[in-house]
Amino acid sequence: MSDASLNPTDLESDAQFGDYFALLKPRVMTLVVFTALVGLLAAPAEIHPFVAFCAILFIAVGGGASGALNMWWDADIDAVMRRTAKRPVPSGRVTGQEALSIGLALSGFSVVFLGLATNWVAAGLLAFTIFFYVVIYTMWLKRWTPQNIVIGGAAGAFPPMIGWAAATGGISVESLLMFSLTFLWTPPHFWALALFMRKDYDNAGVPMLTVTHGRPATRRHVLIYTVLLAALALATGFTSAGGPLYLSVAIVLNVMFLKGAWEIWQRDEHMAETDNYAVEKSFFKLSLLYLFLHFGALLAEAAVDRAGILWAGF
């Protein structure tokens, strides 16, 4: 008898490589990679292309590690939410212990190798981001306060700062502006999701604003945070990080975003149920485009600046 036949039921459901990869939240990782890449490329410093590639890779692995630790801790509430029930841990494909081990190992690995590849300021920021997302957000704020998304959003806002630090070795006004843009974008993005996911957060007992303060209050908060975000996004256009190209993109996107937030605020649950939350869903989709295009415009501004310097050199 081989040891493989000792517990056949467990072995029937061997986790595949894709299940372990899913622990790293690849969809969230795309946002991390993109914003970190913009931070890195927009920074006024030369970085070797292969070192830049390694920096982005280690930042992505660090982000993935925090995702695995989040899935380890939140397996109980993930299991009761329709959106998250198929994740590897609640579905039983990967054990919680495996998720914890992978998360811890990749956290240490990513921080150390980012430090070795670039500098220890960037590595320190990555370590703090993982700590903030796992301990401050996942373990503490998420189940305690309806402001969980607001404060916890900082974790998702750090990648451009890490990318910037990887290139320059420090923090600057521009990298703080990129941080603030993602930080203020997170609440309306997630509250729009909470509005149309309806029962998910209620069933899980997560104190989302929709659960603790009701849907009209959530709609009001979406509008307030969108106004704050628009003010910041437009003001960024007048700083050294912005420029005419960024400002043009920001004006169009923020008018659209403010219009969407205004419509969400004007609606009540009866209207939303009638069209199956069409406005909330389109606002959520727009929020994804909003962030990608803002960061794309920041990257384009940096490219234009570089091209201008090169042109002046001829």
Contacts with other proteins, residue ranges (CB under 8 A): 2, 4, 11, 14-18, 20-21, 48, 50-51, 54, 57, 116-117
Q: How far is the CB of 46 from other proteins (least distance, A)?
A: 11
Q: How far is the CB of 109 from other proteins (least distance, A)?
A: 9
Q: How far is the CB of 305 from other proteins (least distance, A)?
A: 25
Tell me, letter by letter, the H, E, C secondary structure of the chain.
Answer: CCHHHCCHHHHHCCCCHHHHHHCCCHHHHHHHHHHHHHHHHHCCCCCCHHHHHHHHHHHHHHHHHHHHHHHHHCHHHHHHCCCCCCCCCCCCCCCHHHHHHHHHHHHHHHHHHHHHHCCHHHHHHHHHHHHHHHHHHHHHHCCCCCCHHHHHHHHHHCHHHHHHHHHHCCCCHHHHHHHHHHHHHHHHHHHHHHHHHCHHHHHHCCCCHHHHCCHHHHHHHHHHHHHHHHHHHHHHCCCCCCCHHHHHHHHHHHHHHHHHHHHHHHCCHHHHHHCCCHHHHHHHHHHHHHHHHHHHHHHHHHHHHHHHHHHHHC
In the bound state with other proteins, the residue whose beta carbon lies nearer, of 51 and 293, is 51
Q: How far is the CB of 115 from other proteins (least distance, A)?
A: 12
In the bound state with other proteins, the residue whose beta carbon lies nearer, of 104 and 228, is 104
In the bound state with other proteins, the residue whose beta carbon lies nearer, of 3 and 311, is 3
In the bound state with other proteins, the residue whose beta carbon lies nearer, of 62 and 243, is 62
Q: How far is the CB of 283 from other proteins (least distance, A)?
A: 38
Q: What is the Cα gyration radius of the chain? A: 21
Q: How far is the CB of 2 from other proteins (least distance, A)?
A: 7
In the bound state with other proteins, the residue whose beta carbon lies nearer, of 12 and 314, is 12
In the bound state with other proteins, the residue whose beta carbon lies nearer, of 32 and 155, is 32
In the bound state with other proteins, the residue whose beta carbon lies nearer, of 110 and 138, is 110
Q: How far is the CB of 127 from other proteins (least distance, A)?
A: 19
Cα–Cα distance measured from residue 136 to residue 155, given in angstroms and rounded to the nearest whole number:
9
